[in-house]
Structure 1
Amino acid sequence: MLGPDPRTTLVWALLLDWLGQLLILALIVWIPPALDWSIGGTQLAGQYPWILFCVLLYPLLGWLFGSYTVLHWRRLPMLVLIQRLLLTAAATLAAVAIARWLINPGEEVWLVYRRVQVVWLVSLSGWSLLVRLGLRQGMLLPDTPRLLLLAGDEERDRVLQAWRRVPQRERLRPIQPQQLEAELSRLDVAMVLTLSPKIHRDPALRSVFQHLETADPRWIRVVSPERLFEAMQERLPPALLAEQGLNYDDLPWAVTFSIQAQLKRAADFLVAALLLLLTSPLIALAALLIWWDDRGPIFYVQERSGWLGRPFTVLKLRTMAVQSPGSPATWTQLGDRRITRVGGWLRRVRLDELPQLLNVLNGEMSLIGPRPERPELEEELEQHIPHYRKRHWMRPGLSGWAQVCAPYASSIEDSDLKLSYDLYYLRHFSTWLDLMILFRTIKTVLKAGGR
């Protein structure tokens, strides 16, 4: 990584939250008896299953309600952070109360007493607040390097425009060649220098580049714009990618007898079959609500582009009013009037996508991959966005890296942003990345954050 890994920050937050839970529990066990308070108990025998339940529940709900997400934000509004921590604490308290009511443990299980939980969670909220503020200030993490850009006018504008498409805490600062010597003399903070391809070939800067080649790589890193976006934003903007910057033979997917590719297909089949079985009651209920809403058809059949751009038919639960035959393909906009009342809820929790599990079973789709687009819209996208057809080098998916990282596409500019994530996924495909996408998709479904 060229700077602090954002996932390292999340891991530290998780570990420190766990440490705080255990420290506060120890204080609850030791301090009240010393002060003759009656708050809990002094024995941990019989409490361990509940301790494990609470220790796992709090970070799970914190992940769901975004108390870890704020660590990624460019700015950290204190009110929002406090709201999310209090919401996590309240949800944890409610979940423990429900579990206690369902299981009805004996009186000796004092950990689930309401007064104990309130003291524990109020103290933990304060601890978690300090942890997040400390991590935002660089506690336990390496310093963020200076990000500098040396490029010609045209390349500089293109790189900066792409950089600003995604909210980023780190600022990319353009500099002139004459400013570079002064920047190289500063060794108080590490530096990442991004050099555009054209400026790198400028003979007038040969002495500067020789200086860079002998610089301490622990303090000064020289990267291309492509590498900068891969490392810092986990995407590949199409406009910055060279014509041969991404070849099929370079993809992990293209390796002969790839174990990860075989594992992906096996997981697709098994998980899709299991999900179809488990969600069939939900699909039946949704079908009934769709019919009840406007007495129209339940399913919506649409042609999409699949592997290598070959068309295939997807089956979705209908979420829009019935369109007249021959209606032109148009983008779905925020607050689109065509979306029905029931359809709006189905789209929020993505239940309308469940029938596509049948496409996964027969191999036309994968659980994770670039989302399939309508061929009519792709004709226009291919004219405006370079490298667009390369997204067809992998089977389309129910969810993908672009779906969990970028907003809903409703324009050519949005599609360009989403393609940058699809291209990154193609180059960095792995089982670990698929699992990360899966967990973030589950979070979107649980929060009803779909469109």
Structure 2
Amino acid sequence: MQRVIFLVWQNIAFRLIVGWGVVVVLPALLMWRMRFLQGRWLITEFNSMVLATLGVLLVTLGLRKLTEFPGQRSISFVLPTLLLVMMLLGMVIIVFRLPYSLYYFGLSGVIGVVFFFLSFLLEQKAHQPYMAYIPLGHCQNFEAIFQIRWLRLEKPHLDAIQSKKVQAIVADLSSPALDEDWQRFLTEQTLQGRPVYNNRQVYESLTGRLPIHHLYENELGSLLPSQTYLWFKQLIDIIAILLVAPFVLLIAVITVIAIRLESPGRAIFVQERVGQGGKLFKIYKFRSMRFDSEKNGAKLAQQNDPRVTKVGKFIRKTRIDELPQFLNVLKGDMSLIGPRPEQLSFVKTFEKTIPFYNYRHIVKPGISGWAQVTQGYASDTDETALKVQYDFYYIKHISFALDILIVLKTIQTMLTGFGAR
């Protein structure tokens, strides 16, 4: 019975119907039972129910889309998603001056928070993949990859119990060790409706990284972002900056005063970085280090770097030091979301040691990005090589949903200080 409930709850249409009944209809019945049942709704009640219905749709689909990305099945995304949708509905009310019922929204909102938290937990229990893998070629240690229950196949056979549980099979399809018996087994499994995935596909979907070491891997052709979306993304960047400008300016003034009170030198740090297409531009940041921090040349920041001031430590942890880059976004040098720009000296070094490093410059660099919120700060070549794999994943999967996810994770990063140095 429990398994049936889990399977049914995985159906998005079913969750939408239940969500609509609980979050939209139930508060209406509690508040306006007779008028609701008779269909004699006031305009405030009708508008409120329509907006609440839109809210249920956006939250349900939004959570479904966000959790499709690797490693993002955390319950911590429920509340930010709800708040984001509530803000959007509030903007609709203000722009179109719609009459609405505040008491209905209050009751619907409380019920909605409880429902979506419980719904997410139930969906999490329903979504527990159980996959088999063939330990040949580059598919040797897949049981070490997190969040998946693995079955290691030592021979080309699944017994009756395993056949009921295993949802898919992973193999290195290019491995010469995959002999005729294994190939025949994989063909039979495919004919039975069980998906067979190449190990590279699964690695990418579980880690959020896209490693490229050789041209024959044929991934570069997929790293071509939609120019239409990039134009839309730039428009959204500008609108978002203009909306938050008053709040950001207040924080900026306070930050400038704090920096100047603690140490001599300019509060704004200007440095040349490599941008889209390999072009150089000047990036703006609040100074978080001593004014003479680069007297011996540019160096990557380290954990507990002695060059960082007390104010600098706080603004780096909360990412306030990045706020002046809003000017770079307005100038067109950067985007709110994208790979972080590096100094030219570092780029020249990484080009020699990291395969296809320059390909990350196909899009505009960003104030925040997939690598920053997933991996954190990179302090050496090995960590940078890993960071580039996240950048490649972002470039391949660039979309509005992924950008929203990065915004939510950036807010979490600002609150927790993840990756700051």
- Report the TM-score, using the length of structure 1 for normalisation: 0.65
Q: Is the 8 A contact 1:13 1:132 kept in 2?
A: no
Aligned-pair CA distance for 1:21: 1.6
Matched, 1:354 2:339: no
Matched, 1:150 2:130: no
Aligned-pair CA distance for 1:202: 2.7
Aligned pair partner of 2:44 in 46, 58, 63: 46
Q: Is the 8 A contact 1:248 1:393 kept in 2?
A: no
Aligned pair partner of 1:132 in 93, 102, 120: 120
Aligned AA for 1:226?
R
Q: Is the 8 A contact 2:337 2:366 kept in 1?
A: yes
Q: Is the 8 A contact 2:373 2:410 kept in 1?
A: no
- Corresponding residue of 1:237: 211
- Corresponding residue of 1:207: 181
Aligned-pair CA distance for 1:309: 4.1
Cα distance in 2 for partners of 1:133, 1:364 equals 41
Instruction: Please list every run of 5 or more consecutive structure 1 residues that lacks an aligned counterpart in the other structure.
Output: 34-41, 96-108, 254-259
Task: Give the secondary-structure state (helix, strand or coil) at the position aligned to 2:163.
Answer: coil
* Number of equivalences: 390
Q: 1:212 to 1:413 in 2, by over 3 A?
A: same
Aligned-pair CA distance for 1:209: 0.6
Cα distance in 1 for partners of 2:236, 2:122 equals 43
Aligned-pair CA distance for 1:129: 4.7
Q: Is the 8 A contact 2:23 2:56 kept in 1?
A: no
- Corresponding residue of 1:401: 370
Task: Give the secondary-structure state (helix, strand or coil) at the position aligned to 2:156.
Answer: helix
Cα distance in 1 for partners of 2:370, 2:12 equals 19
- Corresponding residue of 1:171: 149
Cα distance in 2 for partners of 1:261, 1:74 equals 27
Cα distance in 2 for partners of 1:52, 1:341 equals 50
Q: Is the 8 A contact 2:132 2:153 kept in 1?
A: no
1:152-208 per-residue CA deviation (whole Å, 9 max, x = no partner) reads 4xx345x649x64xxx421344433xx23236994313443322256x3237x2132
Matches within 5 A, 1:226-305: 226-238=200-212, 241-246=213-218, 248-253=220-225, 260-262=226-228, 264-265=230-231, 267-268=233-234, 271-272=237-238, 275=241, 279=245, 281-282=249-250, 283-305=252-274
Q: Is the 8 A contact 1:348 1:445 kept in 2?
A: no
Cα distance in 1 for partners of 2:263, 2:253 equals 16
Q: 1:326 to 1:441 in 2, by over 3 A?
A: same
Q: 1:428 to 1:341 in 2, by over 3 A?
A: same
- Corresponding residue of 1:196: 172
Q: 1:390 to 1:288 in 2, by over 3 A?
A: same
Q: Is the 8 A contact 2:333 2:364 kept in 1?
A: yes
Cα distance in 2 for partners of 1:306, 1:87 equals 31
Task: Give the secondary-structure state (helix, strand or coil) at the position aligned to 1:29.
Answer: helix
Aligned-pair CA distance for 1:297: 0.9
Aligned AA for 1:365?
M
Q: 1:308 to 1:132 in 2, by over 3 A?
A: closer
Q: Is the 8 A contact 1:300 1:316 kept in 2?
A: yes
1:45-98 per-residue CA deviation (whole Å, 9 max, x = no partner) reads 63455566777789999999xxx97x987998xxxx6x9989999x99xx9xxx
Q: 1:341 to 1:52 in 2, by over 3 A?
A: farther
Cα distance in 1 for partners of 2:401, 2:348 equals 31
Q: 1:427 to 1:261 in 2, by over 3 A?
A: same
Matches within 5 A, 1:383-422: 385-422=354-391
Cα distance in 2 for partners of 1:74, 1:440 equals 9
Q: 1:355 to 1:146 in 2, by over 3 A?
A: same
1:403-441 per-residue CA deviation (whole Å, 9 max, x = no partner) reads 343333344454333222211233334xxx1x2243234
- Corresponding residue of 2:282: 313
RMSD: 5.0
Aligned-pair CA distance for 1:391: 1.8
- Aligned-pair identity in percent equals 25
Q: Is the 8 A contact 1:349 1:445 kept in 2?
A: no
